Amino acid sequence: MIGTARIPLRSIATNAAIHDKFPIFAPKSNTGVGFIEVKLSVMDLDGIASQSITADDFHNMHFNREWEQDVIMRIANRLAQLPCEVDLMFGIFSEGQRTCTKEDFGYCCLTRLGLKQTITEKEMSLFLDETETFRDKAYIEKDEFKALFADAITRARNNMMDNQATLKRIDSIQSLDQSVSGF
């Protein structure tokens, strides 16, 4: 066993999802040894079963709520690392214009941002074709980008700061543990 992690499950009781990184602590020394990323969601299948929903409806509901948010967060996690405001980030995709094509957006995400390891070309194509904001359009507007990604980028930046603070706490605990064990 590498260690243990505490994962708060309270949000699951309200049919929300968990998608976060949690520190792992060594069993005996309680020192930080890494992180675990947890993605967990719960759906009320009893409520769905009582309605007349087809399999396609169920698939679309799952796509819209869970998968789309996951892709948005994967893109936002990478964009959050850039030292600029959300308004300026759109220029990565649009070359300074107020719109960009969906193809340019996908290419920039996968190639310029280096997301090929976290998002496949098929996922990107599905995201751009099925996301309600972009569904019947050939382009993405700057305001649509901001509406879809601004909150996610803010959450990703907050998570990055929380992770850095946790690592600092782990380092200080480890150094304290080493100095105490030296006596």
**Model confidence over 157-178: pLDDT tens digits?**
998 888 777 777 777 777 766 6
Q: When comparing pLDDT for 46 and 149, which is higher?
A: 149
List of residues 6+ apart from 37 with CB closer than 8 A = 19, 20, 21
Residue 145 φ/ψ region, left for φ over 0, alpha for ψ in the -120 to 50 degree band, beta for the rest: alpha
Q: What pairing do the DSSP bridges indicate for beta strands 17-25 and 32-41?
A: antiparallel
**Is residue 58's pLDDT more than 50?**
no
Q: Which residues pair with 38 in a beta bridge?
A: 20
Characterize the bridge pairing of strands 99-101 and 139-141.
Answer: antiparallel
Residues 6+ apart with CB under 8 A from 180: none
For position 68, what pLDDT does the model report? 87
* pLDDT at position 63: 52
Dihedrals phi, psi of 95, to nearest 5 degrees: 55, 45
Residue 86 vs residue 60, higher pLDDT: 86
- Structural tokens at position 50: 């009582």
Region of 24 please: left (phi>0), alpha (psi -120 to 50) or beta.
Answer: beta
Average pLDDT rounded to a whole number, residues 121-129 = 88
Q: How do residues 89-118 score in pLDDT, each as one tens digit?
A: 999 999 889 999 999 999 999 999 999 988
Burial class of residue 69, CB neighbours in 10 A (0-12, 13-18, 19+): middle
More confident: 11 or 37: 37
Whole-number Å distance between alpha carbons of 156 and 75 = 10
Please report, as a single letter, which amino acid is at residue 146: K
User: Per-residue pLDDT for 181 more than 80?
Assistant: no
Compare 172 and 76 and report the one with higher pLDDT.
76
- Cα distance between residue 148 and residue 165, in whole Å: 27
Nearest C-alpha neighbor of 131 from the set 65, 78, 59, 77 = 65
In this prediction, residue 113 carries a pLDDT of 93
For residue 123, the model assigns a pLDDT of: 86
